[in-house]
Chains A and B, each alone.
Chain A
């Protein structure tokens, strides 16, 4: 199985700051990576697919990059509504696997 490791597990930043979350795969997954946002008490929401493609309706302050085993999600200017837990997911092969999550808070 492909293991997905996210870091950090939590981050606290000020409104307007840039926030970067990383996700490492235990083997080469090409660009088969997605990012999800989950706000408290809600279902997850797809932000990024294929490592760097922005899902329709997602604000442009969210961006993704990376390939093979190393990926990043960047929030360019953190907003109060971005408080949430973020998960990466590999879609290269079954079983599909998620990272452990990164909780983003406002300082």
Chain B
């Protein structure tokens, strides 16, 4: 079964850092580009960041997180990461790890989604 499982969400203060992890199973992780999508409480979906697969390491970021967040992956551990620095109150959200439905380069329709991990930034 194809699964992604996020972890690392926590309550932190503004300005602090946090690293999210996403463990993948049931598919050839290295072949897939991966993304993070977030959802603030009661709000809509916001794509955050993406990293290429197939040993290409191109990365992409939303303007709202560029320069503060870093996406990375460990294909030996089948794990995706999101390192978040200088966290702000408006970064509070459930963060989802997502995989494209197929491994074809440029495919960006997400299926499956993890259950999400909650990041709360508050003083």
Contacts and interface: CB of A to CB of B under 8 A. Distances in A.
Nearest to B44: A101
Interface string B12-29: 000000000000000000
A100 B116 contact: no
Interface in B24-65: 35, 44-47, 50, 60-63
A97 B101 contact: no
Nearest to A46: B111
Contact of A95 (B60, B101, B115): B60
B114 interface: yes
Given A43-B96, A43-B116, A55-B101, A98 B45 contact: yes
Nearest to A32: B108
B62 A95 contact: yes
Contacts of B101: 46, 49, 55
A43 B115 contact: yes
A87 to B, nearest CB: 6
Interface residues of A, number: 22
A5 to B, nearest CB: 12
Contacts of B108: 91, 96
B44 A100 contact: yes
B109 interface: yes
Interface in A5-60: 34, 36, 38, 43-46, 49-50, 55
15 contacts: A36-B110, A38-B45, A43-B96, A43-B115, A43-B116, A44-B45, A94-B50, A95-B47, A95-B62, A96-B108, A98-B44, A98-B45, A98-B47, A99-B44, A101-B44
Interface of B: 35, 44-47, 50, 60-63, 96, 101, 107-111, 113-116
Interface of A: 1, 34, 36, 38, 43-46, 49-50, 55, 87, 89, 91, 94-101
